[in-house]
Structure 1
Amino acid sequence: MLVLGIESSCDDLSMSLVDEGRVLANVTATQTLDHAPFGGVVPEIASRRHLESLEPTLELALEKAGRGLDAVEGVAATFAPGLVGSLLVGLNFAKALAYARGLPFRGVHHIEGHLWSAFLENEERYPFLALAVSGGHTHLYYVRAFGDYEILGHTVDDAAGEAFDKVAKRMGLGFPGGPAVERLAREGDAKAFDFAVPQVKGRPLHTSFSGMKTAAMEYLEGPAQDRAADLAASFQRGVVRALTAMCRRA
């Protein structure tokens, strides 16, 4: 069954054509340059750009897959979570396309999509632990089967990606922050500055990044003023250690 998948939960619009688990095409219309001057995603801009990108992205995906629209047998799209305007653009386009062509439609929770993307190239095995980390989410799941999930732990404040973006902005590295910090970190000493692994009292599988973010800001005001690469490397190491600790405790 050839399925058209549409993801528009934030600032990127992606469309994929998947045939029985085999990815024939995956095209993304990115908006990084549109949001960079603001240091973060502007929801109104994101949804407007999605509207402009829908048709050309679909055409390019079909071209790369070597298939016509008539070959599509089903449509799926992200319905949550995400920016409301962005979600509505992709979701309504997908539902309208499916309705107009008499095709089955399936809404997809985008975190569930993250969890199952690993099985596009690997055999399914249960149960398993899954760590979902992004700009808006940091969650540790226990997966018993498809649709059977238990949240074991999560951040109690900032998501990991959000912390990267905020520190990068304070350092003047631009948006998105994660890739910018990673590039600079390659030139630094990851043990130059100490970032303690956070522990949430009474909730050992939870984590926190607000303290780590505050520590980075304080280092920037003092010993790290002229050591940006060392701070980037140390902060990145601190975040990775926090995420690793969540998994090990589980």
Structure 2
Amino acid sequence: MDKIVLAIETSCDETAVAVVKSNKQVLSHEILSQQEHKVYGGVFPEVASRAHMDNLEHLIKQAMKDIKFHDLDAIAATAGPGLIGGLIVGLMMAKGIASAAGKPFIAINHLEAHALVVRLVYTVEFPFLLLIVSGGHCQFLIAQDIGKYTQLGTTLDDSLGETFDKVARVLGLQYPGGPIVESKALKGDGKKFNFPRALTKRSGCDFSFSGIKTSVRNLVQKIEINEENICDICASFQECISDILIDRINNACSMLESLKIQNFVVTGGVAANNFLRSRIEECALQNNLNIFFPPNNLCTDNAIMVGWAGIERLQKNFINSLDFPPKAKWPLESLQNA
């Protein structure tokens, strides 16, 4: 019989609620992305947690308006990694519902939710190569099974999403930076400016993006900042980022030759960037990998991915106690079905 999970996502600035079935049907999905952070040029934790408190109960009512609580099989909520205030809001609500309804509670790792959501849409068997590129993370892993991940490389400084936001801020563009930088880049010349490609031509799968941000800032201080130059900087920045990703993907493939891994999943908010997608897809095909991206609406933070991760964990009977704590840091490789 199909299982049904109510899911809550409050790890950053999206307040989201979904109801997901094990037959891959999404019964409802409600999401509010907080616009208040634009004035700060980034996510302000206190603002985020207050907005979650203001919005969460209403979103749950909307998501559950055609569903009875006694029909649910479990309640899932993001427990980390993320902003601790938001995590607490979501966990308290989820645990309260689970206790009142007498349903199991499942603590979801936000990164595992990103990793598994592609399996809601496509048939992707374990093991697979995994690249997470999001606002808070940039890392290569081998996904061996639910709760079992081996890290191959990670960022040594800024995440990729954070780098997009910081470059946008230097150029006087609005937060969030990813979509607007991509939009400007469409009108620019990607060969106009040459930014540093840190760690490329070296072994390993680690990333470093801080040098690009500094290079953009130094350039902005030297040239006239008009629309043409902004578009050229954005296009050149994306070219630089894509070259770094391709170099690291090739290294990862070299490391995996003996493991016979054929599937490659790229996920997280930055995976919604169409230019980067096309470059990554081309590289994957050259390395004889089957490439999978979630649909754009499932790359950015959402509760559907939390619900599907809840389904996957429920099917393996990975249930958590109501005293499971929020975790601001919670690496995937340390998950071990906790």
TM-score band by shorter chain is over 0.9
State which of 20, 25, 34 in structure 2 corresponds to 1:22.
25
Alignment match, 1:143: 143
Instruction: Structure 2 unaligned segments of length 5 or more: list them.
Output: 253-338
Q: Contact 1:17 / 1:61 at 8 angstroms: preserved in 2?
A: yes
1:188 CA drift (Å): 0.7
Q: Contact 1:158 / 1:208 at 8 angstroms: preserved in 2?
A: yes
Question: Take 2:129 and 2:173, find their aligned partners in 1: how far apart are those partners?
Answer: 33
Alignment match, 2:157: 157
1:141 CA drift (Å): 0.6
Task: State the superposition RMSD in angstroms.
Answer: 1.6
Question: Take 1:98 and 1:114, find their aligned partners in 2: how far apart are those partners?
Answer: 23
Q: Contact 2:8 / 2:76 at 8 angstroms: preserved in 1?
A: yes
Which moves more between the two structures, 66-75 or 47-56?
Answer: 66-75
SS in 2 for 1:10: coil
Alignment match, 1:249: 251
Which amino acid counterpart does residue 28 of structure 1 have in structure 2? I
Alignment match, 1:2: 4
1:218 CA drift (Å): 1.6
Which amino acid counterpart does residue 238 of structure 2 have in structure 1? Q
Alignment match, 2:45: 43
Alignment match, 1:232: 234
Question: Take 1:187 and 1:231, find their aligned partners in 2: how far apart are those partners?
Answer: 10
SS in 2 for 1:140: strand
Alignment match, 1:112: 112
Which moves more between the two structures, 234-243 or 158-167?
Answer: 234-243
SS in 2 for 1:207: coil
1:203 CA drift (Å): 5.4
Query: What whole-Å deviation, never above 9, does each CA across 1:28-71 have from its counterpart, x for those lacking one?
Result: 1110x2111111111011000000111111122224xx323332
Which amino acid counterpart does residue 138 of structure 1 have in structure 2? C
Structure-2-length-normalised TM-score: 0.70
Which amino acid counterpart does residue 24 of structure 1 have in structure 2? L
1:194 CA drift (Å): 1.4
| Structure with more contact order per residue of length (Cα contacts < 8 Å, sep ≥ 6) | 2
Question: Take 2:203 and 2:87, find their aligned partners in 1: how far apart are those partners?
Answer: 33
SS in 1 for 2:219: helix
Alignment match, 1:77: 77
SS in 2 for 1:14: strand
Question: Take 2:5 and 2:224, find their aligned partners in 1: how far apart are those partners?
Answer: 50
Q: Contact 2:42 / 2:176 at 8 angstroms: preserved in 1?
A: yes
Percentage identity across aligned positions? 39
Which amino acid counterpart does residue 27 of structure 2 have in structure 1? L
Number of aligned residues: 247
